[in-house]
Structure 1
């Protein structure tokens, strides 16, 4: 009986999905945009030698630039137009949000509503262009110097013309990805930037799984270790799903009202997610950490052997590889900081307390106004501590095990966290569209029946 009921429910859901034409258009648009993103990752920069790129991929494998390569879907290895991905845009948005919290002028612009949001978005775009230009220039300089000691030239015709062409191409690719992400958000399903990052990670998963199972078949990876990896990944996914759905529900009570059943008091709950910031802290922390490291990595290749500064830069990049203590500490501190920072951006205790007071709502045992604001801040601080610790453990512990056990990096906790979180958010939005479509049909039917009754 239960299986028959489940099959009936699934058939009903499929029937609703087939009738939701707007949802299907959004899904097709999202899929098409992600296909365009994957195709762009195979369009190389002008003047690049593909043979030298193979050496570049081998030398940078396992280093800090694997983050960029993962998030861009392998575009960095191929030195494509979108080699930098959306990381400059994310870094620029971090800078603008931090500046908004510190600058009274930008804070006043933010309070202007839709016009203020457009101004801040424009500042973010300007910052994206500037950061991409700086990173692109150092990448072009590093590519010119790459392979010189081995007698291999990564750039066919090095010079200022190549640098200008590379910088313009990288700016165009990053700005196009930013625009594509905005189009997915407005005309598709889910958050466009997050979906682009997830698509880059998912593109590596089939190759990684093949390498794992091939290692188990050939004996390079122990069978027990392989089984342990699979069990750990499944357990990690389940734990992420559990933590992302965890909430702290605060009881909200409204004044008593006269109804047909007598005087009743209305009650509701204000849900506060345990991880209010979502996947933003790991992405922000990694992007800020990689901004200087991208510059120093390629600048160090250019200055290697020519000065003490070049040798120092190369040594610094070696210390900041995945699994190194300095990298783990900086990454963990960045995750904790952005967990609290982004939670404060998303949830404003003062504004929420004022809205409750305006509509007559209150928390039982807590006076409206400042006391309610202090209570919200008290609860939010404590659940954010748990959320930040959860994100730090999810991102750092698997990274350490990946480095210690020599497992491919793409199965790290950060990658799984982004994939699972973005997938859950996208599925939630699909369900919301189906629910809205169902209510729309009910309203139409009610109007038709009302017309016949007249």
Structure 2
């Protein structure tokens, strides 16, 4: 594998792509440490330290996707989250709006138009989320329990707030552009790699915090246990992410003039985890909504507010059960809108393809739907169990690792992006040397 890395850097065009990707990553991480104008940097650092020592923050998911830049209130505070949200919204609207569905079928030109709509929606969401973040920071609700939380934004004039929102929106647009540069001139999918870097950047600090807060052998036993759990989870995720059900497809031989076409055998790969990490993001976002409403409401003493603060917090039994069932539901929901058995069956019938033993047309669609439902069950249960690992870890260690790094969402994204990027580098190596990373 080390010789494969050396070979990758010896290939001139691949070396340029890798170095370009590394350069963009350095710029991205640099921007994640430049504070927004109008923010008291010392007070922010003081509140971040208090948050790392155990006080929970409700914006943990967004902070993870920004690589810790959200709580630092930097120019890349919103990170890649507005683009992810916009992409998911456009993907859902494609099923509902016929115009977007027609654009999707137009090929490259239609996809370029959808990408343009995604950019516009990303900027709009960045303005909305930036305004919400500034309002939360201004009110002191961004860090619950911090003594100087209300002094993060000293100057609360309209001009200062507008500059902060514009700066964060421009930062999101710049992150989006950097991601597209990696896709065009670098290696791998740019947005996925920036998401990968954001999550991986928080691992060293979280692991060291676990060691510092541990009690057994100065924290080294807890540290080693978490590392071991991480390796087991990565192995499990790689195994399930690579698992697929291959449905055989044969194409009838046709004679056109003097040439024969078709007669080949192929397969339809149906992954066990067909939905990817999207159900976990959906479920997390949905459960954050009532908590954020309570946070914006301030010191409300109403019954519903007290019930939400008591039961819908990480680690509580009701929160865990609702979170698990939401992930299972969204797994089935997303698979239903992203894979259309009837469309696949029609395309197969159009080109003379059929599944052995199954009639073309409606029986094929019913068979695909039946197989898809059967493999989605273990996939959705796997997603739910992986996502609950941080909760179980907190219970097992008595709350010592409030910053448990190997959470379900982070591991799924890191393993998925890592596998796809290695596959791309491997395919480029095989074009020149007939050998990739894995022999």
TM-score, normalised to structure 2, is 0.84
Where do residues 284-433 of structure 1 align in structure 2 (5 Å cutoff)? 284-287=282-285, 289-290=287-288, 297=295, 299-300=296-297, 304-305=298-299, 316=308, 319-402=311-394, 405=397, 406=399, 407=401, 408-433=403-428
CA contact under 8 A between 2:24 and 2:178: conserved in structure 1? yes
Q: 1:185: Cα distance to partner? A: 2.0
- Equivalent of 1:40 in 19, 31, 41: 31
Cα distance in 1, alignment partners of residues 229 and 136 from structure 2 = 38
- Equivalent of 1:29 in 5, 16, 20: 20
Q: Are residues 1:248 and 2:245 paired?
A: yes
CA contact under 8 A between 1:63 and 1:322: conserved in structure 2? no
Between the two proteins, the alignment pairs up a number of residues equal to 419
- Equivalent of 1:132 in 126, 133, 138: 126
Greater mean alpha carbon deviation, residues 39-48 or residues 349-358: 349-358
Match of 1:196 in 2: 194
CA contact under 8 A between 1:139 and 1:295: conserved in structure 2? no
CA contact under 8 A between 1:399 and 1:409: conserved in structure 2? no
CA contact under 8 A between 2:207 and 2:404: conserved in structure 1? no
Cα offsets for 1:75-109 (capped at 9, x unmatched): 12211011121112212222222222222333333
Cα distance in 1, alignment partners of residues 135 and 265 from structure 2 = 63
What secondary structure does 2:405 align onto? helix
Cα distance in 1, alignment partners of residues 379 and 404 from structure 2 = 24
Q: Are residues 1:74 and 2:72 paired?
A: no
Distance 1:346 1:205, change over 3 A: same
Gaps (5+ residues) in structure 2? 256-261, 435-439
Cα offsets for 1:107-129 (capped at 9, x unmatched): 33333333332333233223222
Match of 1:442 in 2: none
Cα distance in 1, alignment partners of residues 268 and 375 from structure 2 = 14
Cα offsets for 1:254-299 (capped at 9, x unmatched): 34699xxxxx9643333221112223332344345546755764x3
TM-score, normalised to structure 1, is 0.81
- Equivalent of 1:102 in 93, 96, 99: 96
Greater Cα radius of gyration, structure 1 or 2:
1
Q: Are residues 1:228 and 2:203 paired?
A: no
Structure with the higher fraction of residues in helix conformation:
1
What secondary structure does 1:411 align onto? coil
Cα RMSD for the two superposed structures: 3.2
